[in-house]
Amino acid sequence: MSYDFLKRGIHASYLKASFVWVGMTQIILLGSVDKMRLGVPKEPDNETRVAIVPSSLKKLLKAGFEVSIEKGAGISANYLDEEYESAGAKIVSRQEVLGCENIICINFPGVEGIGENTNLACVADPFRNPNFVKECLAANITLMSMDMIPRRLSRAQSMDVNSSQDNLAGYKAVLLGAANVPKGIPMMTTSAGTVRPAKVVVMGSGVAGLQAIATAKRLGAVVYASDVRKSAAEQIESVGGRFIEVDGMDDFEDESGYAKPLTPEFIQKVNDTVCGVAKDADIVITTARIFGRPAPITVPSSAVSEFKSGAVIVDMNADVGGNCEDTKAGDIITTKNGVIIVGTSNLPGTIANTASMLYSNNLTTFITSLVDDGNVVLSDDDDILFGAPEDSDFYVNGMGGVLICMNGEMHEKQTRLMGAIE
């Protein structure tokens, strides 16, 4: 499959043009070029964030976009319609937003009302939601799933929505733990006696885990942390944590930078070791997430039964099955032995104003990087879109970049995803 024609800037930003397709080549028959239209829809009721914030509009307008925001899209994140209008955006209906040639959002909005050849950038989580891909294929919508960003590319870091949102999630997880635990966090010396610092155990030291460690340390806790990557020890210690080492530990990380699925035997060994350390912990933060798969159980019910009364488990992956066997997504529960389990979903959404700002910065950097001479151009030279070439150190077999499908076809590099969809 060749995408050479895209290098010529031929795309749906030609608002008044008519098109025909000859094979894989799009030919403009007539019409004139207008501004690139960018639509930002309001997210579903269970989502407090918004994809674009007013401070991003200056960069978007400078790049040549005409930005349309659905009425009330930013209210839940404390961004008012008046702020968008003052910054140069149009406040319009949902129908008008979905009629734009480029759409940016957080959650997959569905395909109803979206025209053919529209560029849709969102967090589709395609391995868990293959139907979203099927819908875009059937509707001839170009889907770019931002959670598929090739995170090891240096250029991708400023566009990496996973990292920006995970940072906030790790921070908020500790605050939720501190809010629910029935004791103070830092060591305090008072006339009535000395209060010992709380013990916090963080399971996993990816982006979210490291932020959780750092946050707990700043609050004054004694922090222990684990990871399946032995190389993570230095990172954990650099932010104030104490590394929990497990016998047989190696660097269980795949070529794309995500944790590999582990054998049941090793998972059991990790669980036993880390849960042993966590028996007397005041707060336990679980962060283990495997790309495209349900969250692994790292805190089984048997371990919870041995935790002390008043301990708090904050399960950061309640939305994808949970790391704690007893987690109930969206709820805070207390077990028979007095352990509090926090299953709050969408942790970044609990600090929607900041989370929206970071997401907006990521997506603004991404979409403006695609602009070439007044058009959105999906160049096959772009590793962010299509994945690294085979001769690159960053090449991942079976994985492309954020571009999932276009012109009614899956991108040829997304062979892993093709297998999940079939």
Output DSSP code: residue 153.
Answer: S
Are residues 250 and 313 both part of a single domain?
Answer: yes
CA separation, residue 372 to residues 43, 375, 401 (Å)? 29, 5, 19
**Domain presence at residue 154:** no
Helix, strand, coil in percent for the chain, rounding step 5: 35, 20, 45
**Does residue 161 sit within a domain?**
no
Residue 163 lies in a domain: no
Which tokens in the block code for residue 123?
């967090």
Report the interhelical angle of 161-180 vs 352-369 (nearest 10°): 170
Residues 216, 317: one domain?
yes
- Domain membership of residue 153 (yes or no) is no
The total domain count for the chain is 2
pLDDT for 228: 80
Helix pair 207-219, 161-180: axis angle to 10 deg: 40
Q: Residue 144 domain-assigned?
A: yes
Is 369 within the bounds of a domain? yes
Domain of residue 212 covers 168-345
How many angstroms separate the first and last alpha carbons of the chain? 19
Distance CA 212, CA 24 (A): 48
Q: Domain containing 398 — which CATH number?
A: 3.40.50.720
Measured between alpha carbons, how far is 381 from 386 in angstroms, rounded to an integer?
8
Q: Does one domain contain both 61 and 79? A: yes
Say yes or no: 118 and 207 in one domain: no
**AA identity, residue 296:** P
Check residue 280 and give its pLDDT: 96
Cα–Cα nearest to 49, from 256, 300, 349, 390: 349
* Interatomic CA distance for residues 370 and 367, integer angstroms: 5
In this structure, the answer to whether residues 272 and 365 fall within a common structural domain is: no
List the chain pLDDT tens, one digit each, 422 residues: 444 434 434 344 333 343 444 444 443 333 334 579 999 999 999 999 999 999 999 999 999 999 999 999 999 999 999 999 999 999 999 999 999 999 999 999 999 999 999 999 999 999 999 999 999 999 999 999 999 998 888 889 999 999 999 999 999 999 999 999 999 999 999 999 999 999 999 999 999 999 999 999 999 999 999 988 878 899 999 999 999 988 776 655 555 555 556 677 777 788 889 999 999 999 999 999 888 888 989 999 999 999 999 999 999 999 999 999 999 999 999 999 999 999 999 999 999 999 999 999 999 999 999 999 999 999 888 999 998 878 777 778 888 899 999 999 999 889 989 887 77
pLDDT recorded at residue 213: 98
User: Which token pair is 323?
Assistant: 């790391």
Question: Can you count the helices (H) and strands (E) in the chain?
Answer: 12, 21
Q: 345, 365, 397: which is the final residue of a domain?
A: 345
Whether residue 280 contacts residue 303, with contact meaning beta carbons closer than 8 Å, is answered with no
Cβ atoms of 271 and 288 within 8 Å: the answer is: no
Catalytic residue ranges: 151, 157, 160, 163, 258
The pLDDT assigned to 32 comes to 34
- Residues 190, 120 within the same domain: no
Residues 247 and 284 in one domain: yes
Do 189 and 100 share a structural domain? no
**What is the structure's pLDDT at 251?**
58
- Residues for the chain: how many in total? 422
Asked whether residue 329 is domain-assigned, the answer is yes
